[in-house]
Each structure stands twice: as structure tokens, then as C-alpha cells.
Amino acid sequence: MIEGQCVEHSHPPVFRMSVPDAKSQRIVAGVPGSDPEVFLRLTRCLQEPLFLLYILHTCRGEAELGRYQSPELSFREVEGFVEEFRPFLSADGRFDLWAYSPEQRATVAWDRHNLIHAYGPLECYAAELGQLGFDPGDPRIPAPHTHHYRAELDTFATQLIGRFHWLYSPLRPEDEQ
């Protein structure tokens, strides 16, 4: 906060790995500048086919709130999707985006707070983050904070919903804001 004005938060390039005996083994990383490249780099650790899960938890009229699962995708198709919707994915907080590999039972989840929660091949994730210049640390969500739902990105949001024949399911309690 600078003299009563909100300043957009950008996570530093840090990540933490679960301790070895933790119940849930994962890496949590901040996404500096909301850069989708971090999501893509970790998704490269996943074996194809992949599924995207787009969780729409805040709506501006583009679709019904809920979970939207893509059909099977190759990494190249996931990469194309992220590139096509990069302006929206990097600047709006109405969704979470997950990539899932059924082969590995592994997930990379990019949430509305610009944190990535990655489950599965932890060493690969850590190596990718290291190549991106990340260091061990503790990414934190600032408090208080706000989310932006930008009217100028509504067209992208509508096009994203029309991009695939998504399999729809309702939000789960943990998805809701």
C-alpha cells in the first residue's frame, strides 16, 4: 500500500517443497508477474495425455460458475491454449487453472492468488523452477488483498469457455470464494 493506494502484488521467485514426511507431497511456488510461463514449465513435467480444469469461481456473465474439464490434450495443445489466452490468464482473478496427468496422477494447479500447487514429480518441478531462477523460500499471500475481475477481459473469458467441449460440473465448497 502506497499512500492509501493499492499496489499490485507480484510474488518473488521462490518455492517451498513439502517436508518428506508430510501427508501431502507438493511444491508451492509464487508466480512472479502472473507469468503463465511458470505454469507451462511445470506442466512440461507431466506425461500426456493431459486434462485442463478451469474453475470459474467468480463470474462476469461469460458462463455458469463451475468446473470445466477439457478433453484429452497434448502438451502442445495446452501450450497453445495458454498462449491464446495469456492476456486473460495473467491479469484476471476469476478462475483457477489446473493441468492433470492421469498417467502420473499428478497435478499442477495455478490458483487465483498466483500460487502454483504442484503434486507429482517434485524433483522435476524443482529443477524447472531452478532453471527459471527460483530459490527456496516461502511464497505468501499478502493480507489484506483484493482480486481483479477486469471488464476489458470479458471477451477472452467468453472465448475461453467456447474453446473446448468442456465437461461441466458444479463448484465444490473448496472452490468458492
Q: What pLDDT, in 10s, does the model give residues 96-118?
A: 999 999 999 999 999 888 899 99
**Percent of the chain with pLDDT strictly greater than 90:** 58
Relative orientation angle of helices 36-43 and 75-84, to the nearest 10 degrees:
180
Tell me which of 127 and 64 has the higher pLDDT: 127
Say if 67 falls within a structural domain: yes
CA nearest 129: which of 120, 140, 118? 118
Tell me which of 147 and 66 has the higher pLDDT: 66
pLDDT tens digits for range 18-65: 866 767 799 999 999 889 999 999 999 999 999 999 998 877 677 788
CA nearest 29: which of 102, 172, 131? 131
Tell me which of 130 and 64 has the higher pLDDT: 130
pLDDT tens digits for range 138-152: 887 665 545 455 666
Q: How do beta strands 27-30 and 14-17 pair?
A: antiparallel
- The count of structural domains within the chain is 1
Say if 5 falls within a structural domain: no
Residue 2, pLDDT > 50, answer: no
Element holding 123 (H helix, E strand):
helix 122-131
Say if 17 falls within a structural domain: no
pTM of structure: 0.88
The answer to whether 119 and 26 are in contact (CB under 8 A) is yes
The answer to whether 161 and 168 are in contact (CB under 8 A) is no
pLDDT of residue 101: 98
Question: What average pLDDT does the chain have?
Answer: 86
pLDDT band at 1 (very low <50, low <70, confident <90, very high): very low
Say if 120 falls within a structural domain: yes
Average pLDDT of 115-138?
A: 96
Say if 34 falls within a structural domain: yes
Say if 28 falls within a structural domain: yes
Sign of CA dihedral 27, 79, 60, 98: negative
| Cell numbers for 115 | 500460487
Say if 69 falls within a structural domain: yes
Say if 133 falls within a structural domain: yes
pLDDT of residue 95: 84
Relative orientation angle of helices 122-131 and 36-43, to the nearest 10 degrees:
140
Residue 89, pLDDT > 80, answer: yes
Which residues span the domain enclosing 102? 24-140+148-170
**Percent of the chain with pLDDT strictly greater than 70:** 83
